[in-house]
Structure 1
Amino acid sequence: MSDWEIASTARVLPPARPRKLAKVPFVELADGRLQGVVSSGSDIERVYVSSVAAGTYDFACSTNNNRPCGGARGTFCNHISALITEAVLQYGVGRVARYLRVDAEVVDAQAIYAFMMGERPSQADSAAAAQVFSRFLRHLAYVELPPTTSPVPELQWFPPTRAVV
């Protein structure tokens, strides 16, 4: 077992490149999907929860109020495109392509997008949208906490000391 597996901290991978959080404040590779929250271009009060399934490239995009995206009519909308672009900035093109099971040599987000469009993805229901949006709100709550060196109870998932063997 490596040191980080028995320590009270976990490795955090730095972003591949810095990214702006205004357009896509939350992006993750989780639950077999690339998923995240994308800001609306027209309404500051509205965000979209978008996702693309690994392997099948089925996609979903809806508002935080569970209303369907008007641009996702049988094809990827601009929110999905922005999500892919920001995921590549956050995780790197290789990691995103491997996670989504893109079986082609890709060099950037546009190549991933083009490959998935060539596979003719279908629109899926947005059943996971509530979970994704809930995780996003939980992350926002941690950002709003005042700086402290004291332990935060919700973040203490690991024992404070190393197990003696």
Structure 2
Amino acid sequence: MSDWERSSTARVIPPARPRKLAKVPFVELADGRLQGVVSSGSDIGRVYVSSVAAGTYAFACSTNNNRPCGGARGSFCNHIGAMVDEAVLQYGAGRVVRYLKIEVPEADADGAALASAMRSTRPQMDATKAAASVFSRFLRHLAYLEHAPATAPLPEMHFFPPTRAVA
């Protein structure tokens, strides 16, 4: 068993390339989907929660207060396109292609090529929107930014049993 497997910390994979967080502050490959939070271009108080399912490319996009995106009617909206672009920056094109099961030559794999390959399948609107869980994880990540850098354990991580008795 390696050192990182015995520790209570998760290994952090550095991004493939640096990215700006203003437009897409949160993107992840999880739960069989590419999903993330995309800032609105018109309203600073609004964000969109977007997702694309692996294999089927079924998609969903809605605001943080569960209103459907007006641009995601029958095809990908600009929010989903921005999320795919940022996922390529964060994880690298190869990893996104493998996770979403997209058939595109890796040499041509950039955000636009991936979105184009997925659009060509005529995806249907995803009926099982996971917006609440994605937005909740995004807010949890934001809460960690409020903590000052420290090596002491965080209170919410105290679900691990103590290794020795505390007097």
TM exceeds 0.5?
yes
Q: Does 1:147 align with 2:149?
A: yes
Among candidates 113, 121, 124, match of residue 122 of structure 1: 124
Where in structure 1 do 4 or more consecutive aligned residues deviate above 3 Å? 155-161
Distance in 1 separating the partners of 2:10 and 2:132: 26
**Percent same amino acid at aligned positions?**
73
Q: Does 1:23 align with 2:27?
A: no
Amino acid corresponding to residue 134 of structure 2 in structure 1:
V
CA contact (8 A) 1:8 1:160 kept: no
CA contact (8 A) 1:8 1:159 kept: no
Alignment of 1:1-150 (within 5 A): 1-106=1-106, 107-125=109-127, 127-150=129-152
Aligned to 1:120, what secondary structure does the other structure show?
A: coil
Task: Specify whether residues 157 and 19 from structure 1 end up closer, same or farther in structure 2 by C-alpha distance, changes over 3 A only.
Answer: farther
Structure 1 position 159, deviation (Å):
6.6
Structure 1 position 153, deviation (Å):
2.2
Task: Specify whether residues 74 and 21 from structure 1 end up closer, same or farther in structure 2 by C-alpha distance, changes over 3 A only.
Answer: same
Task: Specify whether residues 41 and 154 from structure 1 end up closer, same or farther in structure 2 by C-alpha distance, changes over 3 A only.
Answer: same
Distance in 2 separating the partners of 1:158 and 1:113: 41
Amino acid corresponding to residue 23 of structure 1 in structure 2:
K
CA contact (8 A) 1:28 1:34 kept: yes
Structure 1 position 72, deviation (Å):
0.5
Task: Specify whether residues 100 and 160 from structure 1 end up closer, same or farther in structure 2 by C-alpha distance, changes over 3 A only.
Answer: farther
Structure 1 position 103, deviation (Å):
1.9
Answer 1 or 2: higher relative contact order, Cα 8 Å, separation at least 6. Answer: 1
Structure 1 position 116, deviation (Å):
0.4
Aligned to 1:124, what secondary structure does the other structure show?
A: coil
Per-residue CA distance 1:7-44 (angstroms, 9 max, x = gap): 23222100000000000000000000000000000000
Gaps (5+ residues) in structure 1? Answer: none
CA RMSD of aligned residues (A): 1.6
Structure 1 position 148, deviation (Å):
2.5
Amino acid corresponding to residue 121 of structure 2 in structure 1:
E
Q: Which moved more, 1:62-71 or 1:145-154?
A: 145-154
Distance in 2 separating the partners of 1:158 and 1:17: 34
Distance in 1 separating the partners of 2:162 and 2:97: 36
Q: Which moved more, 1:126-135 or 1:41-50?
A: 126-135
Distance in 2 separating the partners of 1:97 and 1:127: 22
Amino acid corresponding to residue 83 of structure 1 in structure 2:
M
- Aligned residues between the structures: 161
